[in-house]
């Protein structure tokens, strides 16, 4: 009830979900070029997710394939009959993949296609809990995962978060009515889940939320010190917030224009002259400002156990390594998956600390 009243007041005075303002990139979010300057570990179309096995080896999902990343190359591990939308590894080493509307667990003959009396529709993230259950983000009840822009532009709120028993398939609903659930992780205080369209993290089943993020949050991965990396697949822009408030314009845009030319976030940009211009993005002689409003952007942030942002990595406007959907920390290195560029990137953790002005401690 209080949330509803808050939304009504916000609509009248232009705050909350009715505000057109977006947070600036400052403090721990101060821009840099670390993602753009990162080593390219693998470049392949269709890269979607990656996961660490219990032995520390790295697996990546690209299209219908699961790949083992070894040295400077990739070895095919398995191929599925559909596009992989999420990937994780159980504590016993068995691989778990989502194929959009179903989950395939290594060693089990039949895929899991439903939970809680509802069929899966758009599985975007998988994560293993301490008790062996799998956290499942089913982002929408209406749209498939590749139609995420439709869900955003229709203000979708039908996502859910489940805890799934891999043995029997029994599932517990942890949270529903999520605005595109795109990542989840068990933490010391409960289960964190990202809501892309509300630009926030929240504790499932509670009102506790960390909001007003400067981008659209995606997957969450733990770090050894109890913190986590949060990937943000695009940055926010005032023009998109404006379009979301203009119902008639938005409906006409959706009915008459190809989705790749909508005024909406994107995983990559700059390759098609028909793309909508972001106000303030281009100045004389066709030069694109790195501080321009983003159509696409590359961003991930490292947070501590209390969800405080500590440092970030960026590929700015005009860069190539945009659409960061997964970021992992492995020992002294940080790995980031750019879905927009189809690249798996590698950076040195200590170099990230130094670039963010952190000269001591373990952040």
- Report the phi/psi class of residue 300: left, alpha or beta, with left for phi > 0 and alpha for psi in -120 to 50: beta
pLDDT one-digit tens code per residue, 82-113: 999 999 999 999 999 999 999 999 999 899 99
The model's pTM: 0.92
Confidence of residue 359 (pLDDT cuts 50, 70, 90): confident
At residue 13, the pLDDT reads 38
Instruction: Give CA 290 to chain center in angstroms.
Output: 22
Q: Across 2-111, where does the E strand assignment appear?
A: 39-43, 47-52, 58-62, 65-70, 73-79, 86-89, 95-98, 103-105
* Domains in the chain: ranges and CATH: 21-355 (2.120.10.30)
- Report the phi/psi class of residue 195: left, alpha or beta, with left for phi > 0 and alpha for psi in -120 to 50: beta
Cβ–Cβ < 8 Å for 209, 193: no
pLDDT one-digit tens code per residue, 163-196: 999 988 899 999 999 999 999 999 988 999 999 9
Distances in Å between the Cα of 95 and the Cα atoms of 51, 90, 91, 200, 286 are 9, 6, 9, 29, 47
Give the residue-averaged pLDDT of 348-358. 96
Give the residue-averaged pLDDT of 5-20. 49
Give the C-alpha separation, 204 to 49, whole Å: 23
Give the C-alpha separation, 141 to 254, whole Å: 19
Residue 323 confidence (pLDDT) above 80: yes
At residue 21, the pLDDT reads 85
More confident residue, 358 or 337: 337
The residue length of the chain stands at: 363
Distances in Å between the Cα of 160 and the Cα atoms of 102, 137, 205 are 15, 6, 11
Per the structure block, which two tokens stand in for 239? Answer: 């023009």
Cβ–Cβ < 8 Å for 314, 31: yes
Give the residue-averaged pLDDT of 113-133. 96
Per the structure block, which two tokens stand in for 266? Answer: 């994107």
Task: Catalogue the long-range contacts made by 205-212 (C-beta closer than 8 Å, 24 or more residues apart).
Answer: 205/174, 205/175, 207/3, 210/307, 212/23
């Amino acid at each position: 009830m209080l949330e509803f009243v808050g939304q009504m007041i916000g609509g009248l005075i232009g705050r909350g979900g009715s505000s057109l303002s977006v947070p600036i990139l400052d403090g721990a979010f101060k821009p840099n070029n670390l993602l753009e300057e990162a080593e390219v570990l693998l470049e392949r179309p269709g890269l979607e997710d990656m996961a660490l096995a219990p032995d520390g080896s790295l697996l990546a999902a690209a299209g219908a394939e699961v790949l083992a990343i070894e040295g400077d190359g990739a070895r095919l591990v398995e191929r599925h009959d559909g596009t992989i939308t999420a990937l994780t590894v159980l504590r016993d080493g068995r691989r778990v993949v989502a194929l959009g509307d179903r989950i395939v667990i290594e060693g089990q003959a039949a895929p899991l296609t439903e939970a809680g009396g509802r069929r899966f529709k758009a599985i975007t993230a998988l994560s293993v809990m301490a008790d062996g259950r799998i956290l499942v983000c089913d982002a929408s009840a209406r749209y498939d995962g590749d139609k995420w822009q439709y869900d955003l532009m229709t203000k979708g709120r039908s996502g859910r978060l489940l805890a799934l028993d891999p043995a029997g398939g029994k599932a517990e609903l942890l949270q529903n009515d999520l605005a595109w659930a795109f990542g989840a992780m068990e933490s010391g205080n409960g289960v964190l889940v990202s809501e892309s369209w509300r630009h926030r993290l929240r504790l499932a089943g509670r009102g506790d939320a960390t909001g007003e993020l400067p981008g659209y949050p995606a997957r969450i991965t733990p770090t050894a010190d109890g913190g986590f990396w949060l990937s943000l697949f695009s940055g926010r822009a005032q023009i998109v917030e404006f379009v979301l408030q203009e119902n008639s314009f938005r409906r006409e845009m959706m009915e008459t224009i190809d989705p790749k030319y909508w005024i909406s976030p994107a995983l990559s940009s700059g390759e098609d002259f028909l793309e909508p211009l972001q106000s303030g993005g281009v100045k004389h002689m066709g030069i694109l400002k790195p501080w321009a409003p983003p159509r696409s952007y590359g961003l991930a942030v490292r947070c501590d156990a209390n969800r405080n942002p500590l440092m970030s990595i960026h590929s700015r406007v005009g860069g190539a390594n945009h659409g960061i959907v997964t970021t992992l920390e492995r020992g002294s290195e940080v790995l980031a998956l750019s879905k927009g560029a189809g690249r798996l990137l590698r950076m040195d953790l200590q170099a990230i600390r130094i670039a963010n002005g952190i000269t001591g401690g373990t952040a």
